[in-house]
Structure 1
């Protein structure tokens, strides 16, 4: 149902490696594709080959997909960099996608974790980007991480029978646990400056007028930190309530959708969203 093509493309003076997953040649050429923005540090296949499987499934559904390695990752040249310094890499990948598939008119960026954040920070500056699929976006601050830990990890831990059996056997280390809990409670009230990552991501998404798919895992602290940031801000609530934003929550799923039913749900939501807007 699909074909795959490996190629290299330039980003400045360095070469990046990309893999195209393309619909069968008998299908009508698609004018909309997906660029998969990999969260780091990992390469284009993703954890348990999740990005490979996603790209192939999209191609089987008639949607061309490109996954690639940033500079300094996987098989690409250059020095390793973080998600806030990959704008040139993203632009080069989109340029190459349009060269390889000249019928394209627009693309969506699909990103997990800090890949989602990198995509959101980049998108308003490139008119070719018409959609953002943001999966468990990374908006890490000291206070946000502490709130997510207190609200979700500790609550869930108290309901686990294994904890109480450990306490009954005298195997629970009370002092370190109390110290950790206290540190998280103190961090919950740490102040963030105006340049904090959630504020910058919000400002960029405010400028983006394309379609947005937001997917959050129910058993992931990164996702729950984002959910807490969004719920605690009137601006974020208004932004995510816009008609162009589609939100999906998957109870029980971990950060990388490691079980097949979770992966299949994410793939189906992405495919249907790509066809809908």
Structure 2
């Protein structure tokens, strides 16, 4: 575990109406009045994040004056199993609201910034469209429809790729795998990257849904930081893709875009994680610079438990 400095505290909590959500709350010792940061799970990953990046990020942001909550969605990590037969997304959105409500009630913080990678980014923007207390969202590789420009860049990348030509001439790679499947000589399971299981983000229904949630977040006065990496190159491959893919959204100056073409999806390299931490911290400082004194608030009301941070 990283060495904690004395200017922040970090506690393991049980949150929610039935205390079913396992969470870690990192806070500055001195109240600052800055927005709280809520970090969401990535897929089925534990709240620490890949390579423990959410642990390091939460401590860094806490030292900058933010109250930061990392928690596990129902059924993940140390949180209790999901109950009922409702949709998973609805259960997760309800869990986010439980956490936001608890932070507001406990620390008198009324502004929030969501942080998420991949599915966590998607759920961040969906929740931001539903709760006006969310004043910002950090979206790491969110789902974005592919565009005409995307396909042009992808085609050029394939044309100049030596490995793709070697695979093509030797009868390997996605093209020949697909041809064998179409002619009944191959198995669909051989297709890489789940090509036949990804949702169709280019459908009119998907685009309309995404435009609705992004515009909803903008209408709620939320500011967005969107960071794209080269990892999911099957889904996005240039910086402005989200703007061209969702043309009806009036982003204006409320979105900051970054494309890290030499970074993988999970930020495996420590140098890339450090760059990400600095990028998020700088963006938060630029968007929420005030450090107004907050009113005294009571301590956490939920029980503590011994869990791995």
Report the number of matched residues: 260
Contact 1:120 1:205 in 2 (8 A): yes
Deviation at 1:138, TM superposition (A): 2.2
Look up the match of 1:69: 72
The C-alpha deviation readout for 1:178-216, integer Å capped at 9, x for no partner, is: 5689x98xx9x997243x2x3212212212222111111
The correspondence of residues 172-183 of structure 1 with structure 2, limited to 5 A, is 172=172, 175-176=176-177, 178=179
Look up the match of 1:245: 255
Secondary structure of the corresponding residue to residue 248 of structure 2: helix
Whichever structure has more strand as a proportion of its residues is 1
**C-alpha distance in 1 between matches for 2:269 and 2:136:** 26
Instruction: Provide structure 1 residue ranges, at least 5 long, that are not aligned to the other structure.
Output: none
Look up the match of 2:282: 272
Look up the match of 1:210: 222
> What TM-score comes out, normalization by structure 2 length?
0.71
Deviation at 1:227, TM superposition (A): 5.6
The correspondence of residues 1-277 of structure 1 with structure 2, limited to 5 A, is 1=5, 2-11=8-17, 13=18, 15-23=20-28, 25=29, 27-79=30-82, 82-83=88-89, 85-100=91-106, 102-139=107-144, 144=146, 155-164=156-165, 170=170, 172=172, 175-176=176-177, 178=179, 192-194=203-205, 196=206, 198-208=207-217, 209-221=221-233, 222-224=235-237, 228=241, 230-236=243-249, 239-240=250-251, 242-277=252-287
- Name whichever of 114-123 and 76-85 sits farther off: 76-85
The C-alpha deviation readout for 1:50-89, integer Å capped at 9, x for no partner, is: 2111111111222221100011110101228744541101
Cα gap change, 1:191/1:129 in structure 2, threshold over 3 Å: closer, same or farther? Answer: closer
Secondary structure of the corresponding residue to residue 133 of structure 1: strand
Larger Rg: 2
Q: Which has the higher contact order (CA 8 A, sep 6+)?
A: 2
Cα gap change, 1:71/1:124 in structure 2, threshold over 3 Å: closer, same or farther? Answer: same
Whichever structure has more helix as a proportion of its residues is 1
Secondary structure of the corresponding residue to residue 22 of structure 1: strand
**C-alpha distance in 2 between matches for 1:246 and 1:77:** 36
**C-alpha distance in 1 between matches for 2:201 and 2:180:** 17
**C-alpha distance in 2 between matches for 1:229 and 1:212:** 12
> What TM-score comes out, normalization by structure 1 length?
0.78
Please, what is the CA RMSD of the aligned residues?
Answer: 3.5
Secondary structure of the corresponding residue to residue 18 of structure 1: strand
Deviation at 1:161, TM superposition (A): 3.9
Cα gap change, 1:218/1:180 in structure 2, threshold over 3 Å: closer, same or farther? Answer: farther
